[in-house]
């Protein structure tokens, strides 16, 4: 009998909270979107409002200052927030870090970080990608050497989102080389560790990367030159951080899919509103032409299908299914979500004709934001590799 697709009262309440928040911000919405999409900055007052609403506390249990509702409610809330164009990947990244700390952090780490995340006082970024390591995590070169009560970190990271506004980063670094792993008789996942690093720690240099496609934030290259991190900031077991890493990457994909769903809804709304009023030939709105209405109707079909996939992946995480099972659903949701977001922006531009490119209509700002979702946080190709290998049992690429 456990085959229930209905949203619970709590789920609807989460959606309603964010709708109410957006309504309250109605007079400022356009200015806020301008900051987010054009200036690539996330207004602090909006961050605080979202925290006050409880969105950042969804993954955090009540004993640590959150509401403990789970990833599915957070995904639903993020979807609504993004359906007004008021979201940012900083929510996704802070969320994934919170999930990681909750599942793999020590008691004192949970007490230090989780209440401040829930209240909006602390933002976190994620430092994983390097010039030669991203899709291939095992190439990670940044290393951390234990010296007494501290780890000393050297190396560099690239494409680190929001490293300027975040207070802490979750850093992936090597504590044992592949050779050492081999000598110890361990597999290739051995030797990676996770650290909570103060983004303002001595020895970290930040270089802005002029990039497009990220709403509400900018990206940076980070250089680590003898950065000392207290040993108590090691997250999870030394050398064996891989489980914690995947436990953060899965929620990241789910939340990214939620963002894509929200963006699709915003685009559909813009398209429908325009198609209902715009008249070109005679007195019929262009929405009465099937060339306009059918592509939009197809997006609606895809939206509802992708919602099911996304909610299932969030549900799987909340149920505590294995990292592999959650990863399967999360990857599918992320792939479909990204494809759909791109398609919805494209079709919205098509519906608007020349106005689709006008800054006043805002639509064009979503183009790069949608497109980046195909590449990050994981490429479409890697997802297809994953599905081919794990769901279809084809030989590894």
Residue 269 in contact with other proteins, rule: CB under 8 A: no
Residue 67 in contact with other proteins, rule: CB under 8 A: yes
Residue 54 in contact with other proteins, rule: CB under 8 A: yes
Residue 23 in contact with other proteins, rule: CB under 8 A: yes
Shortest approach of other proteins to residue 53 CB, angstroms? Answer: 5
Residue 120 in contact with other proteins, rule: CB under 8 A: no
Single out the segment in contact with other proteins by CB under 8 A; choices: 16-24, 120-128, 292-300, 325-333: 16-24
Residue 76 in contact with other proteins, rule: CB under 8 A: no
- Each as own residue / partner, the long-range contacts of residues 381-384 (CB below 8 Å, 24 or more positions apart, any chain) are 382/135, 383/331, 383/332, 383/334, 383/335, 384/335
Neighbours of 347 (CB within 10 A): 20
Of 49 and 217, which has the nearer Cβ to other proteins? 49
Letter string b/e over residues 277-297, b meaning 16 or more CB atoms within 10 A of that residue's CB: eeeeeeeeebbeeeebbebbe
Of 207 and 277, which has the nearer Cβ to other proteins? 277
Residue 52 in contact with other proteins, rule: CB under 8 A: yes
Of 176 and 314, which has the nearer Cβ to other proteins? 314
Residue 73 in contact with other proteins, rule: CB under 8 A: yes
Nearest residue to 48 (alpha-carbon basis) of 102, 116, 139, 108: 116
Distance between CA 162 and CA 216 in Å, rounded?
9
Give the tokens for residue 359.
């800054």
Single out the segment in contact with other proteins by CB under 8 A; choices: 45-53, 163-171, 196-204, 377-385: 45-53
Direct distance between the N- and C-terminal alpha carbons of the chain, in angstroms, rounded to an integer: 39
Of 223 and 361, which has the nearer Cβ to other proteins? 361
Shortest approach of other proteins to residue 68 CB, angstroms? Answer: 10
Residue from 21, 60, 171, 309 in contact with other proteins (CB under 8 A): 21
Contact 364, 344 (CB under 8 A): no
Give the position of tokens 């090691």.
234
Single out the segment in contact with other proteins by CB under 8 A; choices: 7-15, 208-216, 240-248, 262-270: 7-15
Residue 55 in contact with other proteins, rule: CB under 8 A: yes
3-state secondary structure at position 184: coil
Residue 9 in contact with other proteins, rule: CB under 8 A: yes
Residue 283 in contact with other proteins, rule: CB under 8 A: no
For residue 244, the Cα-to-chain-centroid distance in whole angstroms is: 16
Binding residues among 309-328 for other proteins as defined by CB under 8 A: none
Residue 24 in contact with other proteins, rule: CB under 8 A: yes
Of 232 and 273, which has the nearer Cβ to other proteins? 273
Contact 252, 243 (CB under 8 A): no
Shortest approach of other proteins to residue 49 CB, angstroms? Answer: 5
Tally the C-alpha atoms within 13 A of residue 242's C-alpha that lie toward its C-beta: 15
Helices within the chain (DSSP H only): 9-24, 29-33, 44-53, 71-82, 89-104, 107-118, 178-183, 242-277, 290-318, 323-352, 365-375, 380-386
Work out whether strand 204-209 and strand 168-174 pair parallel, antiparallel, or are unpaired: unpaired
Shortest approach of other proteins to residue 304 CB, angstroms? Answer: 19
Residue from 3, 7, 36, 53 in contact with other proteins (CB under 8 A): 53
Contacts of 321 (CB under 8 A, 6+ apart): none
Q: Which residues bind other proteins (CB under 8 A)?
A: 9-10, 13-14, 16-17, 20-21, 23-24, 26, 49, 52-55, 57-58, 67, 69, 73, 77
């Amino acid at each position: 009998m456990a085959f229930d697709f209905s949203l619970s009262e709590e789920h609807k309440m989460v959606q309603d909270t964010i709708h109410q928040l957006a309504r309250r911000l109605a007079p400022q919405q356009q200015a806020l979107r301008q900051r987010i999409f054009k200036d690539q900055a996330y207004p602090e007052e909006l961050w605080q409002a979202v925290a006050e609403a409880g969105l950042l506390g969804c993954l955090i249990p009540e004993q640590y200052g959150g509401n403990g509702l789970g990833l599915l409610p957070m995904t639903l809330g993020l979807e609504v927030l993004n359906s007004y164009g008021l979201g940012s990947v900083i929510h996704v990244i802070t969320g994934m870090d919170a999930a990681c700390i909750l599942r793999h952090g020590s008691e004192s780490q949970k007490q230090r970080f989780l209440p401040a995340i829930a209240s909006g006082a602390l933002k976190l970024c994620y430092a994983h990608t390097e010039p030669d390591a991203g899709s291939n995590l095992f190439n990670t070169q940044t290393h951390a050497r234990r010296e007494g009560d501290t780890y000393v970190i050297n190396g560099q990271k690239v494409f680190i989102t929001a490293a300027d506004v975040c207070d802490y980063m979750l850093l992936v670094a090597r504590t044992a080389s592949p050779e050492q792993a081999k000598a110890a008789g361990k597999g290739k996942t051995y030797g990676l560790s996770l650290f909570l690093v103060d983004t303002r720690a001595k020895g970290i240099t930040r270089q802005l990367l002029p990039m497009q496609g990220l709403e509400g934030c900018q990206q940076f290259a980070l250089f680590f030159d003898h950065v000392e991190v207290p040993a108590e900031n090691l997250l999870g077991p030394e050398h064996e951080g891989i489980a914690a890493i995947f436990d953060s990457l899965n929620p990241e994909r789910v939340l990214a899919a939620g963002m894509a769903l929200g963006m699709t809804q915003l685009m559909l709304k813009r398209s429908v509103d325009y198609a209902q009023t715009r008249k070109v030939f005679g007195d019929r709105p262009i929405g009465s032409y099937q060339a306009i209405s059918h592509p939009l109707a197809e997006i609606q079909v895809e939206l509802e299908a992708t919602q099911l996939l996304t909610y299932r992946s969030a549900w799987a995480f909340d149920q505590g299914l294995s990292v592999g099972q959650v990863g399967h659903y999360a990857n599918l949701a992320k792939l479909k979500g990204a494809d759909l977001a791109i398609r919805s922006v494209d079709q919205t531009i098509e519906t608007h004709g020349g106005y689709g490119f006008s800054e006043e209509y805002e639509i064009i700002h979503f183009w790069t934001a949608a497109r980046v979702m195909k590449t990050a946080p994981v490429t479409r190709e890697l997802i297809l590799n994953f599905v081919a290998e794990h769901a279809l049992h084809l030989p590894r690429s």
